[in-house]
Structure 1
Amino acid sequence: MTTKHAIAILVNDQPGVLQRVSGLFGRRGFNIESITVGQSEEQGLSRMVIVTEGDDQTLEQIEKQLYKLIDVIKVVNLSSKPMVSRELALIKVKAEPAERPEIKSLADTFRAAVVDIGTRNMMIQVVGDTEKVDALLELLKPYGIQELSRTGVTAMTRGNAL
């Protein structure tokens, strides 16, 4: 059964590592739905969180291939454990003055924030899981989404799990 998986990869913070990891996915025909990269808690190491689709066998193959890369320190399938995942989106939506209270009310319902107001548009910032971001986008579509920027998923295991 094909499902979405969030994979955390701890790598050496070196030039070209992101290219080698993403190249591995491309060569093997694995799609990357989202990828985030940033500093980790350890100096000199970065954490990548990749969301991909596949069955358990595909995921096992991805893990084995990743460990063959010299700069990969650790690979963790976050989806197999209780986890917290978040995504940030900035959404610029058409907003005539008469529509603004309605759009602001929608944003408030999703605990999103209006971060900019132009003469004919508003920019909304939303943070949450992918489903929350998708739901807000769906409700804003009728107003006209002018521009959208999403970070991709970042995630960590809950509690004491590592």
Structure 2
Amino acid sequence: MQLCNQLLDLKDSVDNLRGNTQTKYSACLRIAGGVAEMKHELSKLQKHINSQGVLVQDLMTGVALGRHRKRRTSDTDINKSLELIQSSIASRTEMSNSSSSSKKSESVSSPDRYSIEACMKVLYEMENITAHECVAAAMTFLQADWRTVFIMMPDDARRAWVAKEAQK
């Protein structure tokens, strides 16, 4: 009888072991399926990251090119402004030799009343204009419409306009 009990206990142990083995095998299969799914998700994520990296590189290249172009444009505009300032300084020197009444009559009666030179003359007649404001206004004078607007403005509006242009 004792032998039968031991055999029954052994059979129960084998059944438990077989059940545990099947449970563990099922768990391993589920884990393997999860690993395969994770590998697939990882592959998709890597492809997405690579495509985003290419987009970021393209964006950075575009920004760098845009900055480079902008600098080139700014350098050109600054050179034009410097030329305008040099010519206006020469004009200002000539103007200082004449009387203020003749200055006003020249700017009103000149055939090119809205020229850059005429605008620069009016700008130099204004008091307390900083160099920064002068350069900003000179840059804007490159556009004919703004020259006309500037000449047509009353003095107080001109001052406000020049200050606004300098803030851009």
TM-score normalised by the chain length of structure 1:
0.19
Higher strand share: 1
- TM-score, length-scaled by structure 2: 0.18
Greater RCO, 1 or 2 (C-alpha within 8 Å, sep 6+): 1
